[in-house]
């Protein structure tokens, strides 16, 4: 473009020369104007774009593509980030003006991009959690982390002091702690963080560890530099103790627990329990869950039986809101001891060599369909967070339809293996949060 005119000691690109002749709010003219008109106009524009108010405000930034040789954009200061590309700050109007300047090839908004994969969380055990890779949950985390979705864990309770869980424990907004009164009239005194239908009290503390382990798979705090990563880092875990510390409960403790979960607004209920008898009362409680749009996730059982022939409850409940989960190994086969059934088992999820939180802040490797169910529950919490309107039966349908096929487990169950990212996509969108 412009060339210097040395014989006159004047350059047309006077304000392009080194030495910072143009700064926000300040134009220093080091040379006499030669062909002054354009220069004067450009100088004014330079001031307009880089007035201190604009430079220091939270205005959008723009990418300016400049031509070869001397260009006006060079005058506009900004930051040179690549040959022929500068970043400047300014309003849309100043960007439009700039785009008309000589030597400017384009001006476009410096747009925000999101990482297309979340960086590995800081939890020290993350690298050993093969299940998180198998379930493709990292891609799902781009869309949601669970966002406070209430998830009831009907089990042996929960270690409320566990540092990886404490931050995600549900709080009953209608109950005043420690006053010895059932403030919300739900039948449990001081049930601030869940309830105990075995001891019939408001303290769901876990004396067994099973419930704490299941809860950690669902919703241990992720990326907190401690322990492991749950599936849904921001889910709200509602512990309901329906099992004695010896690991068993009754139809009565189960249905009381389910009713508590429904009354307190759980959207998903994890029931990693199995019993041999069909129960009218349990079937009615599950029908109630379906009517309220609540998903019930159950373990297929660890007896190695074909569930199509040998029933187990609630796994064998025929309901569109119950999803029954078999346990898969790292290699995608059915885990040893896992029940199966092409008609009665919906999906498989990691349930072998699973790292879980235990009592006293310890960690334990566990196996069984209890933990497979917990992975599905965690994925369901992510779905429910991204799609608050979706009913339990819709969540179930999305999880089953999106399950990954091609593994050895396919021939033994109705669906394939849990794929959290595919399930989110199936429900509508896998969008950045």
CB nearer to Ca ion: give 175 or 346.
175
How many residues sit in the footprint of Ca ion (CB under 5 A)?
21
Between 71 and 172, CB nearer to Ca ion: 172
210 is catalytic: yes
Half-sphere exposure for 224 (CA within 13 Å, toward CB): 17
* Residue 112 phi, psi dihedral angles, 5° rounding: -90, 135
Which listed residue (176, 281, 287, 343) binds Ca ion by CB under 5 A? 176
Query: Among residues 171 and 179, whose Cβ is nearest to Ca ion?
Result: 179
* 3-state SS assignment for residue 392: helix
In the set 370, 402, 410, 419, the catalytic residue is 370
- Report the alpha-carbon distance of residue 21 to residue 35 in Å, rounded: 17
Q: How many CB atoms lie within 10 A of CB 53?
A: 10
Question: CA-to-CA distance for 61 and 387, rounded, in angstroms?
Answer: 33
State the Cα–Cα distance between residues 372 and 297, nearest whole angstrom.
10
Tell the smallest beta-carbon distance from residue 150 to Ca ion (Å): 16
Residue 11 known to be catalytic: no
> Which residue out of 11, 77, 196, 210 is catalytically annotated?
210
Catalytic annotation present for 155: yes
Minimum distance between the CB of residue 136 and Ca ion, rounded to whole angstroms?
A: 19
Which of 13, 155, 159, 196 is the binder for Ca ion (CB under 5 A)? Answer: 196
Site for Ca ion in 264-303 (CB under 5 A): none
Round to whole Å and give the CA distance between 164 and 124.
12
> Nearest distance from residue 186's CB to Ca ion, in Å?
4
Closest distance between Ca ion and the C-beta of residue 177, in Å?
6
Please list the residues that pair with 87 across neighbouring strands: 63, 79
Q: Give the separation between CA 196 and CA 191, rounded to whole angstroms.
A: 9
CB of 229 to Ca ion, least distance (A): 6
Find the binder of Ca ion among 175, 234, 352, 358 (CB under 5 A): 175
Q: What is the DSSP string of 257-295?
A: HHHHHHHTT-SEEEE---BSS--HHHHHHHHHHHHTT-E
Smallest separation, CB 294 to Ca ion (Å): 20
Q: Which of 59, 184, 303, 353 binds Ca ion (CB under 5 A)?
A: 184
Beta bridge partners of 366: 354
Residue nearest to Ca ion (CB): 196
**3-state class (DSSP) for residue 231:** coil
Please pick, from the candidates 40, 41, 181, 281, the single residue that binds Ca ion as defined by CB under 5 A.
Answer: 181
Cα–Cα distance, 140 to 421 (Å, whole number) = 5
- Residue 9 is given by DSSP the state T
Among 13, 123, 290, 352, binds Ca ion (CB under 5 A): 123
- Please report how close the Cβ of residue 120 comes to Ca ion at its closest, in angstroms: 12
CB hemisphere CA count around 392 (13 angstroms): 25
Q: Which is nearer to Ca ion, 90 or 209 (CB)?
A: 209
**At its nearest, how many Å lie between Ca ion and the CB of residue 126?**
8
CB 418 within 8 A of CB 271: no
User: Which of 14, 141, 188, 371 lies at the binding interface for Ca ion (CB under 5 A)?
Assistant: 188
Out of 13, 155, 159, 190, the residue judged to bind Ca ion by CB under 5 A: 190
Which C-beta is closer to Ca ion: that of 59 or that of 223?
A: 223
Q: Binding of Ca ion at residue 221 (CB under 5 A)?
A: yes
Q: Alpha-carbon distance 39 to 72, whole Å?
A: 9
8 A C-beta contact, residue 330 and residue 133: no
Residue 201 as a binder of Ca ion (CB under 5 A): the answer is: yes
Q: What is the C-alpha separation between 240 and 44, in angstroms, rounded?
A: 69
- The total of other beta-carbon atoms located within 10 Å of residue 100's CB is 10
Q: Give the interface segment with Ca ion, choosing from 15-23, 202-210, 231-239, 404-412 (CB under 5 A).
A: 202-210
Distance in angstroms (rounded) separating the CA atoms of residues 75 and 12: 12
Q: What is the 3-state secondary structure (H, E, C) of 109-147?
A: ECCCCCCCCCCCCCCCCHHHCHHHHHCCHHHHHCCCCCC
| Candidate residues 53, 117, 122, 179; the one interacting with Ca ion per rule CB under 5 A | 179
Site map (CB under 5 A) of Ca ion, residues 130-169, x = contact: ----------------------------------x-----
Among 186-194, 206-214, 394-402, 409-417, the segment contacting Ca ion (CB under 5 A)? 186-194
**CB closer to Ca ion, 85 vs 125:** 125
Only one of the segments 41-49, 62-70, 220-228, 242-250 lies at the binding site for Ca ion (rule: CB under 5 A); that segment is: 220-228
Give me the catalytic one of 11, 94, 123, 155. 155
Distance of alpha carbon 79 from alpha carbon 189, whole angstroms: 63
The catalytic residue positions are: 155, 210, 370
The residue ranges that bind Ca ion (CB under 5 A) are 123, 164, 175-176, 179, 181-184, 186, 188, 190-191, 196, 199, 201, 203, 221, 224, 226-227
């Amino acid at each position: 473009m412009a060339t210097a005119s040395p014989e006159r000691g004047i350059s047309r690109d006077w304000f392009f020369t080194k030495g910072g002749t143009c700064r926000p709010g300040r134009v220093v003219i080091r040379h006499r104007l030669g062909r002054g008109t354009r220069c004067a106009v450009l100088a004014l524009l330079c001031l307009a774009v880089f007035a201190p108010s604009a430079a220091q405000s939270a205005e959008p930034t723009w990418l300016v593509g400049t031509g070869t040789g001397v260009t006006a954009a060079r005058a506009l200061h900004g930051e040179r980030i690549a040959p022929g590309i500068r970043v400047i700050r300014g309003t849309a109007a100043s960007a439009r003006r700039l785009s008309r300047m000589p030597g400017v090839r384009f001006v476009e908004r410096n747009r925000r991009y999101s990482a297309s994969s979340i960086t590995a969380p800081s939890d020290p055990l993350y690298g050993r959690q093969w299940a998180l890779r198998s379930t493709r949950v990292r891609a799902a985390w781009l869309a949601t982390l669970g966002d406070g979705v209430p998830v009831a864990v009907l089990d042996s309770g929960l270690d409320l002091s566990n540092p990886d869980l404490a931050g995600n424990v549900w709080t009953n907004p209608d109950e005043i702690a420690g006053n010895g009164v059932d403030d919300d009239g739900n039948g449990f005194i001081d049930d601030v963080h869940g309830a105990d239908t075995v001891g019939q009290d408001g303290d769901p503390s876990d004396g067994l560890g099973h419930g704490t382990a299941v809860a950690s798979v669902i919703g241990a705090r992720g990326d907190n530099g401690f322990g492991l990563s749950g599936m849904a880092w921001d889910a709200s875990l509602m512990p309901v103790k329906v099992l004695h510390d010896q690991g068993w409960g009754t139809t009565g403790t189960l249905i009381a627990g389910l009713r508590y979960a429904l009354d307190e607004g759980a959207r998903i209920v994890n029931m990693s329990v199995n019993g041999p008898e069909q129960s009218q009362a349990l079937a009615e409680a599950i029908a109630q869950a379906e009517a309220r749009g609540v998903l019930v996730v159950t373990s297929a059982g660890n007896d190695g039986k074909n569930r199509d022939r040998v029933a187990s409850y609630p796994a064998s409940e025929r309901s569109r809101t119950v999803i029954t989960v078999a346990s898969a190994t790292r290699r995608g086969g059915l885990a040893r001891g896992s029940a199966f059934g092409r008609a009665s088992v919906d999906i498989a999820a990691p349930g072998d060599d699973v790292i879980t939180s235990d009592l006293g802040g310890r960690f334990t490797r566990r196996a069984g369909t209890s933990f497979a169910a917990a992975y599905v529950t965690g994925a369901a919490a992510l779905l429910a967070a991204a799609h608050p309107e979706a009913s339990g039966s819709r969540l179930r349908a999305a999880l089953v339809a999106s399950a990954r096929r091609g593994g050895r487990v396919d021939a033994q169950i109705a669906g394939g293996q849990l794929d959290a990212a595919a399930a989110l996509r199936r429900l509508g969108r896998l969008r950045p949060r």
